[in-house]
Structure 1
Amino acid sequence: MSLPTKTRQWILASHPTGLPTYGTRTDTFALETHDLPALSANQILVQTLYLSNDPAQRGWISPPSQIDPKRLYVPPVQLGHAMRARGLGRVLASQNGNFAAGDLVQATLNWVEYAVLDAGDPAAGVRKASELPGGLSVTHYLGALGGTGLTAWYGLVEVVGCRSGERVVVSGAAGATGSMVVQIAKGVVGASYVVGIAGSEEKCRWVESLGADKCLNYKSATFEADLKEACGDGVDVYFDNVGGQILDHMLANMKQHGRIAACGAITSYNGEAVLPMKNYFDVVSMRLQIKGFIVLDFMAKAAETVGKLVGAVQEGKIRVGEENETVVQTAFEEIPGTWLRLFEGGNQGKLVTKL
C-alpha cells in the first residue's frame, strides 16, 4: 500500500469571541490540504482514528484580548496552525525503533488525517496504546483511563484531599471528568454522601446509577432550593467543572473549612456574560479553600495513577464501559461540529470523535 503524501487538516483561521464556527476563512476553523514531509530519524507517520474533545480546547483559541496567552497553562493554538487535540492513531510507517507499522499510539495528533510525529519529543506525548483489560475499548485512553480520569483523581484525591466519610458535590457530573469524580468519591475514597449536578433528568438518573446518592437537574425551576435541601447543613468538598452561577450557589452550601477543586468554568468559555457572585463573602465567613489545578501538574505520576484506575475497574469500584463515553462517527469535514457538541451538553461521559 502506498503511503499518503498529503493530509487534510482543520486550521485555526480566526480567534472566536463567541461560539466558534467552521467552514470558511471567515470562520473560526478552515479546512486545508497540506503536503506531508518525508520521515526523518525517530519520526513516525500516523493515521488519526479517534480524537479527544475537551472544553479546555476553547481557551487555547481565544483572542489575546480575552485571555492573556501568558496566563494559559499551554501555548495557545497559532493562527494558520492545525487545531490541537489528543488522539489515538495507527502507525503507518516508522523511523523509530520503539514503534512499528500497525502499532496503536496515543499522541497529540491535532485535527489532521495524517501526522508526522517525532516520537522522541516529549511534547508530542507519543506512547503505545496497549489493550485494556476486559475487552474495554481503547477509546477509554482518551477519557476514563486517560486525561479526564486523571483529572478526576488528582482534583479529588490530591488537590482537596477528599477523605472517607465526607460529603461531596460534583457539577458537570454526567460529563467525562464529573462522572469519574462521582465514582472515585463513592467507590474509592469512601465518601458518605455524593450529590451530582447535571443538565437533564435522564443524565441525573445515570449519575445516580454510578453511585451518586442524589443528582439534581440544574435546568429545573426549583434547582436552587433543591440544592440547598440536598446539601443540608453543608458539604465538605465541591468539585467544580462549570463555574458561574452554580459555583455561586455552592459557596452558600459549604461547611466551614470546606474545600473546592476548581477544575473548569465551561459556563463562560464562549464569552457568555458572567453573573455577579452574590455569595462570595462565604469564602471569608466559612474559611473556604478554593484551589485551581491542571492535570499537567501531576503527569510525572500518570502511569502509576492509570494503574490505580485500572485496578479500581477490575475490583468493581469504578464502572467503565460504553455508557462512560459518547463516540461519534464523524466525517473529517465535520470534526469541528462534533467538538461543538460539548457546549450543547450533547454527550454522556467522554465525547470522542471517531473518523
Structure 2
Amino acid sequence: MSIPKESTCFIVNEQPYAKVNFDLNDEKSTFKLTTKPLREIQNGELLIKTIYLSNDPTQRAWIQKGMKADRMYVELVGKNQIMRSVGIGQVVQSKLEGYQPGDYVNCVLNWSDYAIIKKDAIYNKITNKSIPLTQYLDVLGTTGITAYVALQKVISLKSTDTVVISAASGATGSMCVQIAKKVVGCKKVIGISGSEDKCKWVESLGADVCVNYKSPTFAKDMSAALGKEKFCDVYMDSVGGKILDVMLGLTKPFGTILACGAIAGYNDFKSSMIANWPQIITNRLTVKGFIVLDFKDSYPEAIQAILKWIKEGKVIANESSFTVVDLTSPGDFKKIPETWGLLFSDKKGPGKLLTKIGSSKL
C-alpha cells in the first residue's frame, strides 16, 4: 500500500474536571476530530495502522483536569494532544529490526488511524495467528494479565479464602472470577455487578453468587451472600465509592482489600467518597493498590498460564467474553469517543469492550 501522509485522529480539546462532554459540535467538547501530518519514520520506529482499540476506565484519569503528573503512573494526555490508548495495529512501514510490514503488534497507540511508535511502546509482537487478535486485548491482554497479577502476584489467593469481586462482569473482574473459582478453587466467590442479567452471566463463569449493587437492599444482599461466615477474606475493588464503603464493613479482621480501580468517582468525585475508612484501623485491614505495568516481567508467565487455563476449560475465551463495536464503515470513526464512553454507562455489555477501526488488509 502507499504510505499515508496524514492521520485522522482525536485530540483532547478540553480536559474534563467532572463529566466528559461527548458532543463534538460543542466548542467545549472533551475531544475534537482532526487530521495531523505524518512525518517520515526514523530508525527504530514503526508506522502502524490501527486495527483495534482497547477501551479502559483508566484512560479517564489520563485526561483529568488538574491531575498532577508526578502522581500518575503514566504520562498524562494534555490539551491539544492526541488521545492515547492501548490497541492492536499492523505494521505498514518499518525501520525497527525484527518487524516487517504486515506484522501485528499489541502496543500503545492513539485514537488515530495511523501512528508512529518506538520499540518501548510495544507490549508484544503477535506471532500466533491461530488465536483471534481480539483475545490479545481481552484474556491475553492487559485485562487478563491484570487479573493474573492481582490474584497470583499481589496477593496469594488460597482455596480456603472467601473472595468478593466488584465489577465482576467487566473485563478484569470476569477473569478474576474464573481464576478464583476454577484455578485457585476458592471456598466461595461472590461477584458484584449492575443488573440481574449481568449477575447471571457472572454466575455462569463460576461465581457462587453475584449481587446486584443497584438493589436498594445491596448491603443486606451482600451479608446474605456471605452467609454464616459474615465476612470475606479478600475484596477486590475496581469501583470505590459506596460499594467499597459497604465492603470495608464486610471484610474480616486482618483481611485484604485489593485496590484495582475506582471507576465510581472518575466522572463524579463525590461518588468516590467513603465513610467507613475507620474499619481499616479497627479491623487491621491491609489495603494493597497495584498497577499492572509494574509487573511487566511477569507478562510472558501470565500469558502462558492463561493459555493453559483456556486449554483446560478453566477460562472462557470466546465471543461471550468481549464486545466489539465495529467503526470501520465510512463516517463511523467519529464515534470512537462515545464508544469509549459506554464504559461509564449501563449500556456496556459484559466482558471487554473493544473498538474496531481498521481492516487487517494492507
Q: Give the TM-score normalised by structure 1.
A: 0.94
Residue in 1 aligned with 2:171? 176
- Once the two structures are TM-superposed, the CA of residue 136 in structure 1 deviates from its matched residue by 4.2
Residue in 2 aligned with 1:79? 79
3-state DSSP of counterpart to 2:300: helix
Distance in 1 between residues matched to 2:29 and 2:56, nearest whole Å = 20
| 1:284 lines up with 2:281 in the alignment | yes
Matches within 5 A, 1:284-323: 284-323=281-320
Distance in 2 between residues matched to 1:136 and 1:324, nearest whole Å = 14
RMSD of Structure 2 on Structure 1 (CA):
1.5
- Once the two structures are TM-superposed, the CA of residue 104 in structure 1 deviates from its matched residue by 1.2
- Once the two structures are TM-superposed, the CA of residue 69 in structure 1 deviates from its matched residue by 2.1
- Once the two structures are TM-superposed, the CA of residue 160 in structure 1 deviates from its matched residue by 2.6
| 1:340 lines up with 2:341 in the alignment | yes
Residue in 1 aligned with 2:110? 110
| 1:262 lines up with 2:264 in the alignment | no
The CA deviation string for residues 78-133 of structure 1, in whole angstroms up to 9 with x for no partner, is 22111010111111122223111111111111111111222x3x1x125312336x
Asked if the contact 2:11–2:82 (Cα under 8 Å) also holds between the matched residues in 1, the reply is yes
Q: 1:190 aligns with which of 185, 190, 193?
A: 185
Q: Give 5+ residue unaligned stretches, structure 1.
A: none
Matches within 5 A, 1:29-44: 29-44=31-46
Distance in 2 between residues matched to 1:49 and 1:255, nearest whole Å = 45
- Once the two structures are TM-superposed, the CA of residue 159 in structure 1 deviates from its matched residue by 1.7
3-state DSSP of counterpart to 1:148: helix
Residue in 1 aligned with 2:356? 354
- Once the two structures are TM-superposed, the CA of residue 286 in structure 1 deviates from its matched residue by 1.7
- Once the two structures are TM-superposed, the CA of residue 223 in structure 1 deviates from its matched residue by 1.4
Which deviates further from its counterpart, 229-238 or 244-253? 229-238
- Once the two structures are TM-superposed, the CA of residue 275 in structure 1 deviates from its matched residue by 6.2
Distance in 2 between residues matched to 1:195 and 1:170, nearest whole Å = 6
3-state DSSP of counterpart to 1:204: helix
3-state DSSP of counterpart to 2:225: helix
Residue in 2 aligned with 1:5? 5
Distance in 1 between residues matched to 2:42 and 2:272, nearest whole Å = 52
Distance in 2 between residues matched to 1:141 and 1:261, nearest whole Å = 25
Distance in 1 between residues matched to 2:321 and 2:273, nearest whole Å = 34
Asked if the contact 1:263–1:293 (Cα under 8 Å) also holds between the matched residues in 2, the reply is yes
Asked if the contact 1:156–1:239 (Cα under 8 Å) also holds between the matched residues in 2, the reply is no
Distance in 2 between residues matched to 1:3 and 1:69, nearest whole Å = 35
Distance in 1 between residues matched to 2:18 and 2:225, nearest whole Å = 34
Residue in 1 aligned with 2:223? 228
Q: Give 5+ residue unaligned stretches, structure 2.
A: 358-362
- Once the two structures are TM-superposed, the CA of residue 276 in structure 1 deviates from its matched residue by 4.8
3-state DSSP of counterpart to 1:255: strand
Which deviates further from its counterpart, 32-41 or 173-182? 32-41
Asked if the contact 1:196–1:204 (Cα under 8 Å) also holds between the matched residues in 2, the reply is yes
The CA deviation string for residues 19-75 of structure 1, in whole angstroms up to 9 with x for no partner, is 2124254211101111111122222211101000000000000012xx322111111
Distance in 1 between residues matched to 2:78 and 2:148, nearest whole Å = 31
- Once the two structures are TM-superposed, the CA of residue 277 in structure 1 deviates from its matched residue by 2.9
Residue in 1 aligned with 2:143? 148
| 1:201 lines up with 2:187 in the alignment | no
3-state DSSP of counterpart to 2:270: coil
Distance in 2 between residues matched to 1:277 and 1:33, nearest whole Å = 43
Distance in 2 between residues matched to 1:217 and 1:274, nearest whole Å = 18
Q: Percent identity?
A: 43
3-state DSSP of counterpart to 1:216: strand
Asked if the contact 2:12–2:80 (Cα under 8 Å) also holds between the matched residues in 1, the reply is yes
Asked if the contact 1:160–1:237 (Cα under 8 Å) also holds between the matched residues in 2, the reply is no
Which deviates further from its counterpart, 301-310 or 261-270? 301-310
Asked if the contact 1:160–1:260 (Cα under 8 Å) also holds between the matched residues in 2, the reply is no
Q: 1:253 aligns with which of 250, 255, 261?
A: 250
Distance in 2 between residues matched to 1:210 and 1:276, nearest whole Å = 31
Aligned residues: 348
Distance in 2 between residues matched to 1:73 and 1:152, nearest whole Å = 19
Letter in structure 2 aligned against 1:180: M
Asked if the contact 1:53–1:351 (Cα under 8 Å) also holds between the matched residues in 2, the reply is yes
Letter in structure 2 aligned against 1:29: F
Residue in 1 aligned with 2:58? 56
